[in-house]
Chains A and B, each alone.
Chain A
Amino acid sequence: MNTVNPSKVKLPAFKSPFSFNPIAAKELAGRMRSVRAYTVLTVYLAIVSALAVLLYLIGFLSGARTIGGTGAVGTVVFYFLVGMQILLVSFVAPAFTVSAISSERERQTYDLLRTTTLMPRQIAWAKLVSGLGFTLLLVFATLPLYSLAFLLGGVEPTELAMTLCVTLAAALLFSLLGLYISARSKSTVGAAVVTYALVIGVVIGVPLASLIGSSTLSLALASATPASASAGRESFLVGVLEVVLTLAISVSPISAIAASRAFFSNTGDVLTFQPDFVGGGALLTLLSPFLILTVLYVILAVVLFVLTVRQIGRIEQR
């Protein structure tokens, strides 16, 4: 069969695991080795660049040649790019992790990994790094386009920092959401359905619900409270409603950025927020929605990571 003398084959003794995760190394190398990675990056940058330049040209041709006019165009371009980044991390980030574990099961390689000496947290970390890594590559590759907005004016560096916080926190959370659901699912399709249902619910559903909720409550309170009782607006109920609605809009990246930006442009304060959802003046000073979102998302991400590690480490019963 072969001419190798078995006694001369050197097989090393067991050594403790390396610091660099082998799964992360394999997946990152494999992902960047394929043409698809470069195609995705190129196409994404091309589309975003083309649309940003188009917006600029529309604004320029509409006569926006004064400082204030170009500033308005700059703001539009900036928040267009922010919107694209939010869409990217909401729908592309989970795509890289939602098949991370379930595809290993489908490919019948999951048991091979689980019988190695890799710890469950190493497997989870590797899958997160390889999925989130490419998403972050796309996010940071788009950053130079923001220079167009800054050149036009109308945008402050603080706004860039604010939107980056939200974008990175969302990328982290949605990647981990996909990873956790993948670890629990037998199939990639099932995992994808559940993950995207949750992401759409959070990104779009929650702001819509908040908008409807605040409008409804505003009407209800206006009809229930006589004008002469304006002092009564400083009620515990209104305060609770404002906290609840602030938390609700802080759940979605879109509404968190929109609310934070609106207040920042009025008051210049990026860190705090005085909500007035029901009209009649603000009662409370709260943390800005983007800060609440960032903290909330990071906490949820840590929880999901721990749950994912436990799921991977769970010895199956069959």
Chain B
Amino acid sequence: MIEIQALSKAFDRRMALDDVTLSVPQGSVFALIGPARSGKSTLLKILATLIEPTSGDAFVVGSSVVRDRLRVRQLVGYLPGDFGVYPDLTCGEYIEFFASCYGVPAKERAALAGDLLQLVDLYHRKDAPADRLTRSMKQRLGIARVLAHDPQVLLLDQPSVNLDPRARVELRELIGELGGMGKTILLTSSNLAEVQDMSTHVALIEAGHITRAGTLDEVQADTPPYRLISVKFLGDATLATNLIKAERGVINVEAVADPAAMTQGLAGVALLKEARVVFDGAYADASALLKALMHSGVQVVSFAEEE
């Protein structure tokens, strides 16, 4: 269904994708797993015809993303990692608007919007403003939007990120239903554990290279799954990040300021920081990581594996 052939993409001097060759079978739910800045979103944007590859090509149901962009857009529904809604539209109107952008006849749009919202369990919000949804609802609205023109292929960029566990379960069920409808789905994630229950195939991508690809069983047999460890701490984020990266088993680390930062009393303005560590080491390696942080003087407040 999707054939990616020697695809490369350079941004200034950085190779976001480097000679990527991949085949996504028809009807599969294909998970592209990799840490941040590994090229996942870039690959999806190229397939969605938003950006051009530097070299190589990709074919969606036989149509080139370079030469047949309009045809590819008819075949593909793209859900970005972050997307907006129109504040002056209700959820139903939002779906109808994008249905009209794809040329769905006017007399079918209202019924289509109702059906799609029912599919994603948002029918009760049909007349509610589209900008007053939770993150989980917004993701489901986005999935309803990409289905408006009945595409054969769905490109979902990090659909489960920032969702609470219950919402992730609902998303998994929805993607399973879409797979059951015969859609070919290519989705990205930084955590295999998040998507393995819904995926039939997996590819691992790192620094723009595909390191492994195949069915879920094949890849899991070769590779221990990534885990996400959340480390909350006080102190120098750069020091902590560099320390973590040097430890065994660490694939990548993102140090972010905790949005629910707590200040320590009136005297201190110490912001709680969080490093999310993509980790594929053993439990002993995780223990060694924690020990190294404690010995270095980083004030660890919490060290836990994310579900």
Contact = CB atoms under 8 A, between A and B. Distances in A.
A12 B100 contact: no
Contacts of A318: 11, 51
Interface in A1-59: 1-2, 4, 6-7, 9-18, 22-23, 25-26, 30, 33-34
A118 to B, nearest CB: 5
Interface string B239-253: 000000000000000
A15 B102 CA distance: 8
A119 to B, nearest CB: 8
Given A25-B100, A117-B103, A315-B49, A9 B76 contact: no
Contacts of B177: 6
Contact of A13 (B84, B120, B150): B150
Given A15-B103, A23-B101, A26-B89, A9 B149 contact: no
A114 B50 contact: yes
B52 interface: yes
A201 to B, nearest CB: 34
Given A9-B115, A14-B149, A115-B50, A109 B101 contact: no
Contacts of A34: 88
A48 B49 CA distance: 49
Given A6-B180, A112-B98, A14 B48 contact: no
A12 B173 contact: no
Interface centre among B50, B76, B170, B181 (most CB of A within 10 A): B50
Nearest to B147: A11
B260 interface: no
For chain A, give the interface size range.
35 or more
Interface in B82-120: 82-86, 88-89, 93, 97-98, 100-106, 108, 111-112, 115-116, 118-120
Given A2-B118, A11-B147, A14-B149, A117 B70 contact: yes
Given A30-B88, A111-B83, A112-B145, A11 B101 contact: no
B141 to A, nearest CB: 12
A236 B270 CA distance: 78
Contacts of A109: 83-86
Contacts of A66: none
B100 A117 contact: no
Contacts of A230: none
Contacts of A108: 80, 82-84
Contacts of A16: 103
Contacts of A10: 111-112, 115
Contacts of A25: 100
For chain B, give the interface size range.
35 or more
Contact of B100 (A1, A18, A111): A18
A257 to B, nearest CB: 37
Contact of A317 (B52, B104, B178): B52
A103 B181 CA distance: 36
A143 interface: no
Interface string B138-176: 000000010101100000000000000000001001100
A116 interface: yes
B56 to A, nearest CB: 15
A15 B101 CA distance: 11
A117 B80 contact: no
A187 to B, nearest CB: 15
A266 to B, nearest CB: 52
Nearest to A25: B100
Interface string B199-238: 0000000000000000000000000000000000000000
B3 interface: no
A251 B72 CA distance: 45
Nearest to B73: A117
B80 A316 contact: no
A115 B83 contact: no
Interface of A: 1-2, 4, 6-7, 9-18, 22-23, 25-26, 30, 33-34, 107-109, 111-118, 315-318
A-B interface, 7 closest residue pairs, ranked by CB to CB distance from nearest: A22-B100, A108-B84, A11-B150, A116-B101, A107-B84, A17-B103, A30-B88
